[in-house]
Structure 1
Amino acid sequence: MRLVTILLFTFFLISIPKHSLLNAQETETTGSLEGVVYDENGVLPFANIFIEGTSIGSSSDDNGTFSIHKIPIGTYKIIASFTGYNTIKKKLSIKEGENKISLTLSQGSTLDEVVVSGTLKPVIRSESPVPVEIYSPTFFKKNPTPNLFEALQNVNGVRPQLNCSICNTGDIHVNGLEGPYTLVMIDGMPIVSGLSTVYGLSGIPNSLIERIEVVKGPASSLYGSEAVGGLINIITKNPDAAPEISTDVFASGWGETNIDFGFKARVGKATALVGANYFFYDQVIDKNEDGFTDLTLQDRISIFNKWNFKRSSGKNFTLAGRFYYEDRWGGENEWDRSFRGSDEIYGESIYTTRYEVLGSYELPTKEPISLSFSYTNHDQNSFYGDVSYQAKQRIGFTQLAWDKKLKSHDLLFGAAYRYQYYDDNTTATGSDNTNDPEETKIPGVFVQDEITLASNHKLLLGSRLDYDDRHGSIFTPRIAYKWSINDKNIFRLNAGTGFRVVNLFTEEHAALTGSREVIVEENLAPEESYNVNLNYIKKIFFDNGTFIGLDASAWYTHFTNAIIPDYDTNPQQIRYGNLDGYAVSTGVSLNSDINFSNGLKVMAGFSALNVSNTDDGIRSRQVLTESFTGTWGVTYKVHALNLTLDYTGNAYGPMRLPTLGPNDPRRDNSPWYSIQNIQFTYKSSTNLEIYGGVKNLLDWTPNRGNPFLISRAEDPFDNNVQFNQNGDVLVTADNPYGLTFDSTYIYGPNQGARGFLGVRYTLL
């Protein structure tokens, strides 16, 4: 009923303007359009030709010719597109009778998009020495989700990892490396880090996203700590280019409701973009019948405001802010707020309040010099059963960058400063009834030189020097080389180092949930990494109009001082310390983008990886790291019905799981599993979209093949657990496996098959 109400309310809010074409169709005065589509080699068969804002269109035949009949008299924009070519628009007045036109398309692809993440400045993707993957809102609409965390599940080599089966917090794994190894940025600013690593990702609404850029491999030479495994840069919409109004509302069969709304306004010489996201879910569902909620209940709001100021100097100034509040809880089905923090009914309740400010200011100088800045304030009020975790974190960041071109050298100089304040109620920031908040100041400088050796050869040299008052100076160099054999074959070789300063309690949710004792064995030193990455891109064009794009990579990353939670030494503990040895992440991946001349599009990719730790000469697979991951998306549009079909999914190979010792009856390794989705989207000529489908078609959940997921769910406070003199759990009639309460055994979502229905509207 809630879904019906929301959809009706949305239709009421949206005033859908009737296109003049619809009114004109009521008359009998029409014309026809005939034409030919060309490319640089001659006629171009199987190209798509449409009239903008309508459902009227056609395709060119074997001779490149096309015809469209019964077009109402008027002035329109004719759109011509073909896979692997740049789309063009041409204005044309349709008169009564026959009208003729010729259209010429030039070759192009997503390789020609502008990216910034690889080199910290705008560059055409195909020219960047650093491989950068781009994902647009269209990609994420194929499987609509209420937040960025879930949206990334269909990106090859990127896996959202749930870290708790009760409160459903998680992080993003890239190429098998855990979330804290990947830097998540908004508009180039390190917004999501530290305390928000496991809580902040769910608060970024998809409606604000212009595109997402993914760099796999260390980027510490440009971005400092936390960019050891790679970075995810969320580029928000430019207010000047954003739609006047946009709205997106959908709900699922489980009762989840997500509302996105945005608009832009012009205030004097400035343009403002305002976006709001509201997510609500209040259903207690327990399909696996363990007495605990399968999905965390959530009430979340996020408000975003971004300004573009036009200055007389012609230089840009952008300023943005975001407010985010979330109330989430999971636990025993009988839990309510009266039990928060008590030892009667178990629940994990988290209140999060977050403020963000970020901006970029181009100095009014002849040289291109820009100042970027950000500030975040993150407050967390949480209880894990009767364990209180109260934490505050404030992060300030500023960076000055100077871009200088000298003949064949494209230089970049920069200086950065990061300030971090962290305080909580654990031993991390105090002991013996004293409070000692942690304050970290990290200044740094960096330099980069992109050298054009020849028209098809580029070399990039970069280095960064940071000073951490806890660990001293940290130097991170990198080198990148690009060889363009031609515009259809590109090789890239990247190598570099990275470092990461660990914030244990802010990043490791497992240290707070369940009954395992946390043991920090030593003063933790920064982790360091060495990485080599080889990338090859191939574009293939066929005479029948089919296009295939291939993007293959192989990588090797070696870690020293790695800090990896040890679940094995003592099943009742999580031990943290620098690895007495090394860790390695190695693998290969392939992304393919296939577009057929009949309109069928297929995106598919796979990654085979091996992440292992060697400690005291003993090698073991890393916990919760898959050996294989595959993703796909199949899209087909039925033009006659304005209907698009999207079939998306992913598959994961086995990963080692954190069991509680040899008596634990749960699987030591996860099985192969797949989550698949289907969606149908109808789009009208007035930019109204109605979409719906089914998520998790195979109804897969991680409890398959397991006697339970949460150990000792019937005794979450371990009231009936008995221990011997050494602290080991005793096997008793009430505890036949000798376990304690633990919720860290989770490797996939608990939601089975469910339907969803939504509506979008955009006023350009």
Structure 2
Amino acid sequence: MIHIVYSFKSQLSNILIVFSLLLSLTAHAQIQATGFLAGQLTDDRNAPIGGVIVFTEDGRFSATADSTGHYQITLPIGKFKVVFSHLGYGKIHQTFTISESKVTNGSVRLTRQGNLLDDITVTGSAMPAELRTIASSISILKSTDPEMKQIQTIDDALNFIPGLSVGRSRGLTTTGTHTSVTLRGTGASNRTLILKDGVPINDAYTGGVSEWNSTATGSISRIEVVRGPGSSIYGSNSMGGTINIVTETPTQSPTLGMDVRYGSMNTFQAGAKAGKVLKNGFGIIAFAEYKKTDGYKYMADSLWKDYFQKPAMELLNVNAKISYQINPNSKLEAIMDYHLQKPVSGTTIIYDDKSTTNNYLLRYTGKNSAFNYSATAYYNNNDRTSTALKWNSKENQFNTPYYVSTVPIDIYGFIGKINKNIKNHSVTVGADIRLTRSVSEKSYGAQGSQNFSGNQNFTSFFINDDVAIGSSINLNAGLRYDNWQNVKGKFFDNMTGKDITIDYAKASSNVVSPKIGLVYRATEQIRFRSQYAMGFKAPNIYYLYNSAPLGSSFRLGNPNLKPERMVYSVDLGADFYVNNNLEISATYYASQYKDFNESVLIPASDVPSYFDPAGLPVRQYINIGKVKLTGLETSLRYKLNPHFTLIGSYFYNKSKILEYQSNPSYEGKEMDSNPHHTTSGGLAYDNPKIINVSLWARHTSKSFGDLENSENLVMDPITVVGLKVSKQIGKFAVTANVLNLLDKLYYGSYTSATSYYYAPRRSVNLGLSYSLK
């Protein structure tokens, strides 16, 4: 009992001692000296950031920044580790020393967490700009993205971008400009402008891009796709949109890589790259890629004759880039690009072709206290030769000469820009000069020859202003003036036994292309954008002056073609981003065109007497009238966890012919090759320690094969699935690709019951790659 009472008294004594200490500490805290931590929180552009939570690392003291980014916390004197936290900026830790009765400067500049809006676009604006400030609908693919892994050609990656369609009717054997790349259902590849490192590579002959197949996939750093007209910056061809292929540049760390693949249809592909920045300011990087395939039987057995040959293709691209950093503010860059294509294809006539392209570019960029500036000079040369041989049924071989043709194309260009920041304006003025020469010489042996040639020249000036209005609104305004001229147009034909020479009259016009766009960032994660723009495309030499058999019809040139005009294009879009995990984008667009250029059937009686269509149906490109396109582009990219990424897109497109001058019965019909619905996406698992696997799918709804909307020329809906697998073993990787995994049989193109191509069936390729990085 005594022990219990003593124990109780002892515990009570301890409790009283602890209680006394607590009272003493509390009294001391009440009289302890304090100071203040205060400041303003801003972003990389010096714009205030509201809603930032500021707290000490121990969690005892906190405050929240107001709408102007200001905050204040009362703290005891001493050192404190302080955390600044915001959903769009992550967490930043800094240490401050608090002095008695003084205000410690706690102003901090926060850096946004990386998402797509932080990217710099070099295509969507006259000068490089943050994507968050640009009103255009833009997709950017980087070399590290799942879509860019293990691609055979560029369009393997682009197939999953909303609003973009790539037509490759015979797979890798599709020749040159027969690969169609279209944006927003505009129906022809020459209505999409293709840039390589900022320079147009659409040729002056048909307006297509001959080196689309052969470009070294390992040389690509990123691809920027700008949907909607870009004529206010780039002029002709950019009615549906602009695609810029940006190649790698030399870096301080050495670049070294190799890639070898082999697969179905005896397809072989090999590539290599190497480069580095040297100590004296010079840097060099070079790429080479070779592709070869034997092709396949691309027609049904009932149409494929025993003597038909499967197509074959050889492709080579060698590219070198040299840079010299003159000083911290100026840089000189030279690019040399060589392409070789050697396709052999045909049915009753075999076409043995060869196409070589040489592109040269010299660019100087710099800045001083007043201006940013750049000057780019380039020269592109393309030489195409073709030997056509008819089938000799008596000797069972292709040895009957049909014709030999040569098509040299030369393009000279200069683009100069000066940019100045004036308060909240970023103003760019520039000039763009492009001089082109195209010649086509076709000899039919003893029968005679047929030649045509012409020059197409552009002189252009433009001004763009990107205006920051407060911290959340940006206005993009642009205006471009283009003067285009077709001059020195000539035609010669002696196929009928008489020399026929035509000197075509000069054709020219002046075009003004405006653009205005508005971006509103409601939060750091949500932005809304709208844009109004106009565009145009000048007619190309081929459609003006060429008159000759082509496939199953006779094509009659039309020197009276007018430029196609986009009367208006309106975009309304929204983007939602959460850190690096979720990106959602949607854009509604409506556009109207006039003087749309389309190939239509015309009466044989309209053909001049000095041409002989040889009983073939006659087609001619004419300005048909007005066309309206409306649609919706949506995309999603969601990082489920560090290893899984979900990618999806949906594209809805509706076309309507509003006015068809030569045949009003077409009015109300749809454009050909224009499916209403396209859905695509993929699921990628990326874990270098285990395996990288991605599954891809693309579905397109039905579409019409001609402007007549003939029910017997309907392209059926199709779903195509692909699989990519790779396993990293040190610096090496073993790869496997399966295209058309489900082995679907579908049309790559379909113009009639006796003239259509099947797309490739299932194909597999295996590879081995090495990368120093």
**What is the TM-score with the length of structure 2 in the denominator?**
0.73
Partner of 2:294 in structure 1? 282
Partner of 2:635 in structure 1? 591
Partner SS for 1:192: coil
Distance, in Å, in 1 between the alignment partners of 2:345 and 2:273 is 31
Structure 2 contact 150–724 (Cα < 8 Å) conserved? no
Residues 474, 660 of structure 1: CA spacing in aligned structure 2 closer, same or farther, 3 A cutoff? closer
Structure 2 contact 695–721 (Cα < 8 Å) conserved? yes
Which string of whole-angstrom CA distances, capped at 9 and with x for unpartnered residues, describes residues 174-211 of structure 1?
A: 11112111100011111233347152211211111110
Question: Structure 1: which amino acid aligns with 2:291?
Answer: F
Which string of whole-angstrom CA distances, capped at 9 and with x for unpartnered residues, describes residues 221-272 of structure 1?
A: 1111111111000111111267520112222222211111000145643111
Residues 204, 426 of structure 1: CA spacing in aligned structure 2 closer, same or farther, 3 A cutoff? same
Question: Structure 1: which amino acid aligns with 2:428?
Answer: L
Larger Rg: 2
Which string of whole-angstrom CA distances, capped at 9 and with x for unpartnered residues, describes residues 659-710 of structure 1?
A: 9998xxx9421111011111221123x3322111421012112259x9x987
Partner of 1:35 in structure 2? none
Question: Structure 1: which amino acid aligns with 2:520?
Answer: W
Structure 1 contact 374–397 (Cα < 8 Å) conserved? yes
CA shift, 1:506, in A, is 7.2
Partner of 1:111 in structure 2? 117
Answer with 483-492 or 591-600: which moved more: 591-600
Distance, in Å, in 1 between the alignment partners of 2:361 and 2:164 is 26
Partner of 1:70 in structure 2? none
Partner of 1:606 in structure 2? 650
**Mapping of 1:709-728 within 5 angstroms?**
712=754
CA shift, 1:121, in A, is 1.5
Partner of 2:180 in structure 1? 171
The answer to whether residue 509 in structure 2 is matched with residue 472 in structure 1 is yes
Which string of whole-angstrom CA distances, capped at 9 and with x for unpartnered residues, describes residues 138-158 of structure 1?
A: 336566332224442232221
Partner SS for 1:465: strand
**Mapping of 1:333-482 within 5 angstroms?**
345-362=348-365, 366=369, 367-383=371-387, 386=402, 388-425=404-441, 437-469=453-485, 470-482=507-519
Partner of 1:516 in structure 2? 553
Partner of 1:73 in structure 2? none
Q: Of 591, 595, 602, which residue of structure 2 is paired with 1:561?
A: 595
Distance, in Å, in 2 between the alignment partners of 1:554 and 1:512 is 41
Structure 1 contact 142–648 (Cα < 8 Å) conserved? no
The answer to whether residue 325 in structure 2 is matched with residue 325 in structure 1 is no
Partner SS for 2:522: strand
The answer to whether residue 525 in structure 2 is matched with residue 488 in structure 1 is yes
Structure 2 contact 672–707 (Cα < 8 Å) conserved? no
Answer with 200-209 or 384-393: which moved more: 384-393
Distance, in Å, in 2 between the alignment partners of 1:598 and 1:509 is 56
CA shift, 1:310, in A, is 1.8
**Mapping of 1:104-183 within 5 angstroms?**
107-139=113-145, 144-162=150-168, 167-168=174-175, 169-177=178-186, 178-183=188-193
User: How many equivalent residue pairs?
Assistant: 611
Structure 2 contact 195–243 (Cα < 8 Å) conserved? yes
Question: Structure 1: which amino acid aligns with 2:130?
Answer: I
CA shift, 1:755, in A, is 1.7
CA shift, 1:219, in A, is 0.6
The answer to whether residue 695 in structure 2 is matched with residue 679 in structure 1 is no
Partner SS for 2:201: strand
Cα RMSD after superposing both structures: 3.4
Structure 2 contact 740–762 (Cα < 8 Å) conserved? yes
Partner of 2:585 in structure 1? 551
Structure 1 contact 294–751 (Cα < 8 Å) conserved? no
Structure 2 contact 547–554 (Cα < 8 Å) conserved? no
Q: Of 609, 615, 621, which residue of structure 2 is paired with 1:576?
A: 621
Question: Structure 2: which amino acid aligns with 1:376?
Answer: N
Question: Structure 1: which amino acid aligns with 2:772?
Answer: L
CA shift, 1:460, in A, is 1.5
CA shift, 1:287, in A, is 7.7
CA shift, 1:291, in A, is 2.6
Structure 1 contact 84–547 (Cα < 8 Å) conserved? no
CA shift, 1:605, in A, is 0.4
Partner of 1:29 in structure 2? none
Residues 41, 175 of structure 1: CA spacing in aligned structure 2 closer, same or farther, 3 A cutoff? farther
Q: Of 574, 589, 598, which residue of structure 2 is paired with 1:536?
A: 574
Question: Structure 2: which amino acid aligns with 1:184?
Answer: I
CA shift, 1:364, in A, is 7.0
Question: Structure 2: which amino acid aligns with 1:381?
Answer: T
**What is the TM-score with the length of structure 1 in the denominator?**
0.74
Question: Structure 2: which amino acid aligns with 1:574?
Answer: R
Same amino acid, percent of matched pairs? 18
Partner of 2:225 in structure 1? 214
**Mapping of 1:607-756 within 5 angstroms?**
607-613=651-657, 614-616=659-661, 617=664, 618-637=667-686, 642-658=690-706, 667-684=712-729, 686-702=730-746, 712=754, 743=755, 745-746=756-757, 750-756=759-765
Distance, in Å, in 1 between the alignment partners of 2:695 and 2:546 is 33
Partner of 1:32 in structure 2? none
Which string of whole-angstrom CA distances, capped at 9 and with x for unpartnered residues, describes residues 283-336 of structure 1?
A: 55568434377963111111000011121463011110111111101224xxxx
Residues 507, 84 of structure 1: CA spacing in aligned structure 2 closer, same or farther, 3 A cutoff? farther
Distance, in Å, in 1 between the alignment partners of 2:693 and 2:732 is 16
Answer with 221-230 or 500-509: which moved more: 500-509
Distance, in Å, in 2 between the alignment partners of 1:129 and 1:661 is 35
Residues 143, 755 of structure 1: CA spacing in aligned structure 2 closer, same or farther, 3 A cutoff? farther
Residues 493, 325 of structure 1: CA spacing in aligned structure 2 closer, same or farther, 3 A cutoff? same
Distance, in Å, in 2 between the alignment partners of 1:636 and 1:299 is 33
**Mapping of 1:6-155 within 5 angstroms?**
107-139=113-145, 144-155=150-161
Residues 40, 263 of structure 1: CA spacing in aligned structure 2 closer, same or farther, 3 A cutoff? farther
Partner SS for 2:222: strand
Distance, in Å, in 2 between the alignment partners of 1:486 and 1:353 is 51
Partner SS for 1:193: coil
Q: Of 196, 200, 210, which residue of structure 2 is paired with 1:186?
A: 196
Residues 472, 192 of structure 1: CA spacing in aligned structure 2 closer, same or farther, 3 A cutoff? closer
Answer with 581-590 or 387-396: which moved more: 387-396
Distance, in Å, in 2 between the alignment partners of 1:763 and 1:597 is 27
Unaligned stretches of 5+ residues in structure 2: 1-51, 57-86, 93-109, 390-401, 486-506, 605-615
Partner SS for 2:233: helix
Structure 2 contact 441–449 (Cα < 8 Å) conserved? no
Which string of whole-angstrom CA distances, capped at 9 and with x for unpartnered residues, describes residues 27-73 of structure 1?
A: xxxxxxxxxxxx98999xxxxxxxxxxxxxxxxxxxxxxxxxxxxxx
Question: Structure 1: which amino acid aligns with 2:168?
Answer: L
Question: Structure 2: which amino acid aligns with 1:171?
Answer: S
CA shift, 1:569, in A, is 7.8
Partner SS for 2:704: coil
Structure 1 contact 447–462 (Cα < 8 Å) conserved? yes
Partner of 1:66 in structure 2? none
Residues 391, 487 of structure 1: CA spacing in aligned structure 2 closer, same or farther, 3 A cutoff? same
Which string of whole-angstrom CA distances, capped at 9 and with x for unpartnered residues, describes residues 63-110 of structure 1?
A: xxxxxxxxxxxxxxxxxxxx998999xxxxxxxxxxxxxxx9963312
Structure 1 contact 556–585 (Cα < 8 Å) conserved? yes
Question: Structure 2: which amino acid aligns with 1:501?
Answer: A
Partner SS for 1:211: strand
Which string of whole-angstrom CA distances, capped at 9 and with x for unpartnered residues, describes residues 474-504 of structure 1?
A: 1111101111101111111111111111215
CA shift, 1:273, in A, is 0.5
Structure 1 contact 118–215 (Cα < 8 Å) conserved? yes
Distance, in Å, in 2 between the alignment partners of 1:154 and 1:661 is 27
